[in-house]
Chain A
């Protein structure tokens, strides 16, 4: 049985004026330790699916099983990283990264030390007492990653976490996140609209087609790319051919203007 099983998920948003189907017939399995990317044009329901997996939204239909157990009732199994860091500006970095532990009442000396140690591993030492606004965008996003990882989630969801950063910081952070996830053997799902990022980081790329959001095609990344760090993967010769393939598929999804 898979680590994460998404079975036949449908989701419809209801408003006064309309009922919009955001997702339809989504069935995916994710294995433990795997890195999967959800790629697709905007409005294809990627973020909705992520919210459903995270248990923030209840799907209109379908089931989600994490280690064969339904999602409801399990807390803190899933870490969620957003497009921006969303560190609380009035809390110090230390208070921010310990927030998850505090809320789930797991905060003790051991977990606190582990979180602070993780902060050091991310290259953020000596800033525990500083406020988020004193750090650069990249540092803040790293601190947000520490906050997410501190509760030791089994599954990590990354909702375009690099989209608000400059290119150089983004490349560096991709490598760091990839390395960290490998070290801890975490399973992760990345939502992105950046083809290169999806190829460089993941083991599998799931391409979504819009309105309603469906799985269009799944691309398995070749073994040699999986081994490499995202930065090196971008420079590998296999990269550009996969890029071209996905690009064409993505292009075919666009509504043609007659």
Chain B
């Protein structure tokens, strides 16, 4: 029997070992793809297989990165874009949830507004950019508005659906205690939909980046979107690629942070 137990321990050890090995291989290939991509890019640029003026090269981007860090322009522009994005997606999620609450509150209002929601949802929001700039002026407000408007309607629809899907028996419990509609919302509807709201937060992070970058394309005075459009206009594609890389890294970090927040909040 003792031997049998040892055997199980051994098998478990082997299992763990094979898991570790598999993990290492996965990491190895991930790293390999990364290295191959960037070294291939660098090499073909130096060999002039691709036009270095258009496609730049990792080494040039790195040099520009160091330069832009030193003169402080990268960080200042990044912080502009980051602030706009954070405001955009928080505003978008909050307003979307608020609108969903309004729809839930008044079924009549929800019926009236339904076709408008469908139209607004189907419409590409970035097309509203020029109008926002005219209305709010070429600055932070219109760019944040872009970041928010792109996610409001979809948030409203998703959150409202989740409000409606809350088990009516929870409401029945509250109603037998004589709860008002507001109490029903506060005690059952909102907390039950909390996981949905958090997961829209995750989607909205991505959407807000789109809205903010497009907004900066249009306003063209500050931010990473401005870097991209400026680099494009003066044919400095190293600047374009640098901005793209920074956006990719920062957007990923932001997404991971929201995911972390989700895990923390849903756990309890």
Contacts and interface: CB of A to CB of B under 8 A. Distances in A.
Interface of A: 54, 56, 75-76, 78-80, 82, 84, 86, 88, 90, 99-100, 103-104, 151
B188 A88 contact: yes
Contacts, number: 41
Interface of B: 167, 169-170, 172-179, 183, 187-188, 191-192, 194
Given A88-B191, A90-B192, A103-B179, 7 more contacts: A56-B172, A56-B176, A76-B177, A78-B176, A80-B172, A82-B172, A86-B172
A56 B175 contact: yes
B187 to A, nearest CB: 7
A104 B174 CA distance: 10
Given A88-B187, A88-B191, A82 B169 contact: yes
A99 B183 CA distance: 11
Contacts of A88: 170, 187-188, 191
B177 to A, nearest CB: 4
Nearest to B191: A90
12 contacts: A56-B175, A56-B176, A75-B178, A76-B178, A78-B176, A82-B169, A86-B173, A88-B187, A99-B177, A103-B177, A103-B178, A104-B178
B192 to A, nearest CB: 8
Nearest to A87: B173
Nearest to A80: B176
B170 A86 contact: yes
A151 B177 contact: yes
Q: In the A-B complex, list the 3 residue pairs whose CB atoms are closest, starting with the nearest.
A: A75-B178, A80-B176, A100-B177
A216 to B, nearest CB: 27
A146 to B, nearest CB: 13
Contacts of A84: 169
A103 B174 contact: yes
A208 B54 CA distance: 83
B176 A79 contact: yes
Contacts of A151: 177
B34 to A, nearest CB: 42
B162 to A, nearest CB: 14
Contacts of A79: 176
A100 B176 CA distance: 9
B213 to A, nearest CB: 37
B177 A104 contact: yes
Contacts of B187: 88, 99, 103
Contacts of B170: 86, 88
Contacts of B174: 99, 103
